[in-house]
């Protein structure tokens, strides 16, 4: 066997755990899972999808169980929690159960298209990045379907954070990312925030700890089914965390 063949043999033992936090995503879940499986089976990487449902009243978990029957329990892993405990802790819960050496984090509402996943993986492998972040704000990335208010909030949050913390990444609040598992664990251990603002803190901490970051331009499409769980209190949490990080990092 040639060296290169051996190389690819070894890296083929990499496994990607895709975390899908869900709260009332009954309509979206079958489509997102179908797409993930389609794109990952095509690319030949080993993977699992971990669904973390927080007791969705719309019956998302029942749908997830059906999907598990269709695709198999080695591909679809269910790690539900009793009630809605927030996005940040949903990820932490998922990481605990992940068997891959890489973790991919994405939304389940079709805002993050699974077609980008192979691009994240290839970029990581090319440069051995510690984390690869999807970006809406660089090199052809973008947002579709958001109203002016939502665009302003997102742009504003990114802009303020860029100025105050100079993080060296173009999309701080996005949550379509790939991490080496041990890197993600380290970041989680030093992260203080638990809500949506978690994403921003993670990438700031990553810079601080000198982890290497790659970026893949993505288009973020607003959800068609269901509604966003981002509210006024999340915006307040964000501002609070930003000031905290500004004061402490
Ligand atoms: N398990 C669990 N528990 N899942 C949750 C919870 C929760 O408490 N809250 C939200 N989710 C899930 C949703 O079901 C969806 O799959 C994903 O987390 C994102 O939630 P959305 O409500 O769709 O978020 P968004 O579209 O407003 O916000 C997106 O953009 C933000 C900034 O641009 C997300 O990607 C955020 O993470 C991001 O900060
Ligand atoms: Mn969404």
Q: 6: CA distance to ligand 2 center in Å?
A: 41
Q: 190 falls in which pLDDT band (50, 70, 90)?
A: confident
What's the predicted TM-score (pTM) here? 0.89
Mean pLDDT of 184-207: 86
Question: Which ligand 1 atom minimizes the distance to the CA of 222?
Answer: 26
**Residues 10-28: pLDDT tens digits?**
466 899 999 999 999 999 9
Does 133 contact ligand 1 (Cβ within 6 A)?
A: no
Q: What is the mean pLDDT of the chain?
A: 89
Q: 221: CA distance to ligand 2 center in Å?
A: 9
Q: In this predicted structure, what is the pLDDT of residue 210?
A: 93
Q: Where are the domains of the chain?
A: 3-248
Tokens for 5? 């063949």
Q: 58 falls in which pLDDT band (50, 70, 90)?
A: very high
Q: In this predicted structure, what is the pLDDT of residue 11?
A: 61
Q: In this predicted structure, what is the pLDDT of residue 12?
A: 63
Alpha helices in the chain (DSSP H): 3-11, 29-43, 60-71, 87-97, 117-127, 148-165, 181-190, 198-208, 232-248
Helix, strand or coil for residue 168? coil
Residue 217 has pLDDT above 80, yes or no: yes
Out of 82, 112, 136, 175, give the residue to mutate to test ligand 1, the one with the largest number of ligand atoms within 8 Å of its CB.
Answer: 175
CA–CA distance, 7 with 171 (Å, rounded to integer) = 33
Does 111 contact ligand 1 (Cβ within 6 A)?
A: yes
Does 56 contact ligand 1 (Cβ within 6 A)?
A: no
Residue 6 has pLDDT above 70, yes or no: no
Q: 108: CA distance to ligand 2 center in Å?
A: 8
CATH superfamily of 3-248: Spore Coat Polysaccharide Biosynthesis Protein SpsA; Chain A (3.90.550.10)
Q: Which residues neighbour ligand 2 (ion) by CB within 5 Å?
A: 109, 111, 223
Q: 3 falls in which pLDDT band (50, 70, 90)?
A: very low
CA–CA distance, 18 with 76 (Å, rounded to integer) = 10
């Amino acid at each position: 066997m040639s060296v290169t063949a051996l190389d690819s043999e070894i890296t083929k033992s990499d496994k990607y755990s895709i975390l899908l936090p869900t709260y009332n995503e009954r309509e979206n879940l079958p489509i997102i899972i179908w797409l993930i499986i389609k794109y990952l089976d095509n690319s030949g990487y080993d993977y699992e999808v971990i669904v973390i449902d927080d007791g969705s009243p719309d019956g998302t978990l029942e749908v997830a169980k059906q999907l598990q029957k269709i695709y198999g329990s080695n591909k679809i892993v269910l790690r539900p929690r009793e009630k809605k405990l927030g996005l940040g802790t949903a990820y932490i819960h998922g990481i605990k159960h992940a068997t891959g050496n890489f973790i991919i984090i994405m939304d389940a509402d079709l805002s993050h298209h699974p077609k980008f996943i192979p691009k994240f993986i290839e970029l990581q492998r090319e440069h051995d990045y510690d984390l690869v972040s999807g970006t809406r704000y660089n090199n052809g990335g973008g947002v579709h379907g958001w109203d002016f208010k939502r665009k302003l909030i997102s742009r504003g949050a990114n802009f303020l954070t860029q100025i105050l913390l100079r993080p060296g990444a173009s999309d701080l609040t996005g949550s379509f990312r790939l991490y080496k598992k041990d890197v993600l664990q380290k970041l989680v251990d030093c992260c203080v925030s638990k809500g949506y603002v978690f994403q921003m803190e993670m990438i700031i901490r990553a810079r601080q700890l000198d982890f290497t970051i790659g970026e893949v331009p993505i288009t973020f499409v607003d959800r068609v089914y269901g509604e966003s769980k981002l509210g006024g209190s999340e915006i307040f949490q964000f501002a609070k965390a930003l000031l905290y990080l500004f004061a402490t990092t």
